[in-house]
Amino acid sequence: MWPVEQIKARQALLAEKGLVWSVVESIPVHEEIKTHSGNYQRHIANYQQSLRNLAECGIDTVCYNFMPILDWTRTDLEYQLPDGSKALRFDQIAFAAFDLHILCRSGAEKDYTDEEQAQAQRYFKAMSTADIAKLTGNIIAGLPGAEEGYTLDQFRARLAEYDHINKAQLRENMAVFLRAIVPVAEEVGVRLAVHPDDPPRPILGLPRIVSTIEDMQWLKETVDSIYNGFTMCTGSYGVRADNDLVRMIETFGDRIHFTHLRATCREQNPKTFHEGAHLQGDVDMVAVVEAILTEEQRRHKAGDLRPIPMRPDHGHQMPGRSEEENQSGLFGHRSVERFGGGSGGRVGVEAAVFPGITLAKQGALRLRPHR
């Protein structure tokens, strides 16, 4: 549970830099909530109180995810691009090598084609001890600042907790969670914005339930409240070629409370991808930004003047320019907003969106949960 005094302490820290904290990313959902086991009711009660405490401090948007065990997953955190910068990458064959030959998960072969299995075996045979340790760490060691981090045996034990949880059961467990927290969000005026699965498909035998437009529809219908909303992460959803991002925005625009605008590039194996430049890659960023601005203008006309906060997200690491990685994406998105064409109001919207962009930089908003 996040105490008011600690929330205010971090607000004061940001205020020293002239910033106002308006978006939390994220309040982690405890694994016992996802598995509907152990002390899940206590964890839900803590989550409810955290929402109340954030609202008391004037914070009105909370991003979260419901991915089992792992948050976003990559096999390479320093993929070298031709221009010398580094990006995050998910290599399907490297991941298969980990699953089949390092983790040695029972039944893993069912998740890969014969060709992928053969490539994974060759990949594994060419790995050194250091390569194995690095790949394992990239996948299961946890995110920077996160509490979770596993050894292989701990990770296997955690996976076993999901042996009897399929997609339908995970959906029901999420429904229990939403039915408990959305009424509190309505009561205190906090908009919930679930982040999609990343990558948006089952991995390691684990079900994924926030990956497609059908999943978004299910979430909307499960608890039909404007406060039960979405984070439109174009990089996560965009990994799937069958996800029409503009259609998603147009269909669920009134539920989009936070946006991560980034692009990924699918490779020869369509399940392999890396982070692209923000205005390149497989995402039509101009069309996406136009759809988001159209929704924002609709809200303004209806009397809701709050901007839809945005962050550029997953910027490339540039040699000697660590503080500017996301700024390059920010400037690109600003250019789209200002000069992208379409209906008027873009320059005004740019100014309105600016606080959300500034506050949503990776790391500035990530706090550990207090239990």
Distances from the Cα of 210 to the Cα of 156, 167, 218, 258, angstroms: 23, 10, 9, 15
Residues 345 and 281 both lie in one domain: yes
Is residue 367 situated within a structural domain? Answer: no
Residues 116 and 20 both lie in one domain: no
23-41 residue pLDDT tens: 998 899 999 999 999 999 9
Of residues 143, 164, 142, the one with CA closest to residue 154: 142
Is residue 366 situated within a structural domain? Answer: no
Is residue 368 situated within a structural domain? Answer: no
Residues 93 and 218 both lie in one domain: no
Q: What are phi and psi of 170, to 5 degrees?
A: -65, -40
Residues 137 and 219 both lie in one domain: no
Residues 181 and 247 both lie in one domain: yes
User: Which of these three, 128, 160, 192, is where a domain ends?
Assistant: 160
Residues 32 and 91 both lie in one domain: no
Residues 155 and 185 both lie in one domain: no
Which tokens hold the place of 332? 């690109």
How many CA atoms lie within 13 Å of 97's alpha carbon, on the beta-carbon side?
A: 23
Of residues 322, 332, 335, the one with CA closest to residue 362: 322
**Largest Cα–Cα distance of the chain, in whole Å?**
61
Residue pair 314/235 in contact (Cβ under 8 Å)? The answer is yes
Residues 65 and 86 both lie in one domain: no
DSSP output for 291-318: HHHHHHHHHHHTT------EE--SPPB-
Confidence at residue 209, expressed as pLDDT on a 0 to 100 scale: 98
Confidence at residue 149, expressed as pLDDT on a 0 to 100 scale: 72
pTM (two decimals): 0.84
Residues 51 and 126 both lie in one domain: no
Which tokens hold the place of 362? 């990776």
Residue pair 204/162 in contact (Cβ under 8 Å)? The answer is no
Q: Which residue has the tokens 């009561």?
A: 187
Residues 229 and 355 both lie in one domain: yes
Rounded to an integer, what distance in angstroms lies between the CA atom of residue 136 and that of residue 124?
Answer: 12
CB atoms within 10 A of CB 255: 22
User: Which of these three, 129, 160, 191, is where a domain ends?
Assistant: 160
Is residue 282 situated within a structural domain? Answer: yes
User: Which of these three, 119, 136, 160, is where a domain ends?
Assistant: 160
Q: Containing domain of residue 100, as a range?
A: 76-160
Confidence at residue 341, expressed as pLDDT on a 0 to 100 scale: 43
Is residue 364 situated within a structural domain? Answer: no
Residues 175 and 153 both lie in one domain: no
What letter would DSSP give residue 29? P
Domain total in the chain: 2
Confidence at residue 364, expressed as pLDDT on a 0 to 100 scale: 32
Is residue 371 situated within a structural domain? Answer: no
Residues 175 and 252 both lie in one domain: yes
Question: Helix 213-222 crosses helix 167-188 at what angle (to 10 degrees)?
Answer: 50
Which CB contacts under 8 angstroms, 24+ apart, belong to 2-8? 2/27, 2/50, 2/53, 2/54, 2/367, 2/369, 2/370, 3/53, 3/370, 4/53, 4/56, 4/57, 6/367, 6/370, 7/53, 7/54, 7/57, 7/59, 8/57
For the chain, 371 residues long, the average pLDDT of each consecutive 10-residue run is 94 93 92 97 98 96 95 90 88 98 97 98 98 94 60 94 97 98 98 96 97 98 98 95 97 96 92 86 91 95 92 68 48 46 35 31 32 31
What would the 3-class secondary structure string for 56-74 be? Answer: HCCCCEEEECCCCCCCCCC
Question: For position 337, which CATH number holds?
Answer: 3.20.20.150
**Strand (E) or helix (H) holding 230:** strand 228-233
